[in-house]
Amino acid sequence: MAVALTIAGSDSGGGAGIQADLKTFAALGVHGTSAITCLTAQNPEGVLGIQACSAEMLRKQIEAVFAELPPVASKTGMLFSAENVRVAAEFRPTVVDPVMIATSGARLIDEAAVSAMKDLLSCARLVTPNLHEAEVLIGENITSEVELRAAARKICKTFGCAALVKGGHLKGVREAVDFFYDGRTELMLTAAFIGGVSLHGTGCTYSAAITAYLARGKSLPEAVSRAKEFITQAIVQSVRAGRHDVLNSFWR
């Protein structure tokens, strides 16, 4: 069984972060390993508190994984501090999900880490920003599909890694449109926009699915395409837990 690694924060509500990544790895048939960057007290309604892991302990977690369970592919999620971003960069993650702001609006990264995050991208194979994160990376507003496509190309050119810019937050659209660009291949990935459903952890699950498919030997464009179908169905076939709808990573 192929091994995948997630370097991310823990979500006590189980919908995002490490918990979402490990569920996705399991659903797609890869062995999931993890290095926890921070603890969060959160649920689908919001983030109540964050406590970062020390850079030294984060490095030890990753070293422990590489020593006995070397991952075929790895991803980062919430890193929170500049120190943890720099530690993650040492291990050259395959996929970087530049988690900056939670769906609830809570900030999940400090100011110093934003600059370090840009350096991390040069070590990665793919970055998967949502619309707001892409705006931070390119320093421009994105208000249309044309600008979304241009952002993917600009990120690729600027940071030297492939980009998957997600348009789920675009206003006034009927489809969830994402643009992938790696310098040679360009993909426009679409799915019907599911209205009336607010789901936590979609970005984590999407990037984890890409990582799992890469661990299974798929090419980057194929991994991205398959992951788009995976996250779309996880949303469409969402289930109820407590008072909230949650992603169904095991829809298959």
pLDDT of 211-250, one tens digit each? 999 999 999 999 999 999 999 999 999 999 999 999 999 9
DSSP letter, residue 79:
-
Q: Residue 14: pLDDT band by 50, 70, 90 thresholds?
A: very high
B/e letters for 9-27, b = 16+ CB within 10 Å, e = fewer, are: bbbebbbbbbbbbbbbbeb
The amino acid occupying position 45 is E
The answer, yes or no, to whether residue 103 has pLDDT greater than 60, is: no
> Which one, of 214, 150, 202, lies nearest residue 176 by Cα?
202
Q: Distance of CA 131 to CAs 207, 217, 239, Å?
A: 15, 28, 26
Characterize the bridge pairing of strands 31-43 and 3-11.
parallel
* 214 close to 71: Cβ distance less than 8 angstroms: no
* 137 close to 105: Cβ distance less than 8 angstroms: no
- The label of the residue with tokens 């939670």 reads 102
Using one digit for the tens of pLDDT, what is the confidence trace for 196-209?
676 889 999 999 99
**pTM of the predicted model, to two decimals?**
0.95
* Residues across the chain: 252
The answer, yes or no, to whether residue 105 has pLDDT greater than 60, is: no
**Which pLDDT belongs to residue 54?**
96
Q: Residue 161: pLDDT band by 50, 70, 90 thresholds?
A: very high
Second-level CATH architecture of 3-246: 3-Layer(aba) Sandwich (3.40)
* Dist CA 166 CA 132 (whole Å): 9
As given in the structure block, the two tokens for residue 136 are 């931070």
* 222 close to 205: Cβ distance less than 8 angstroms: no
Residue range 107-114: average pLDDT?
A: 75
Domain ranges for the chain: 3-246
DSSP letter, residue 108:
-
Range of lowest pLDDT (14-28, 37-51, 91-105, 196-210): 91-105
CA 29, 33, 37, 41 torsion-angle sign: positive
The answer, yes or no, to whether residue 88 has pLDDT greater than 80, is: yes
> In this predicted model, which residue has the larger pLDDT, 172 or 68?
68
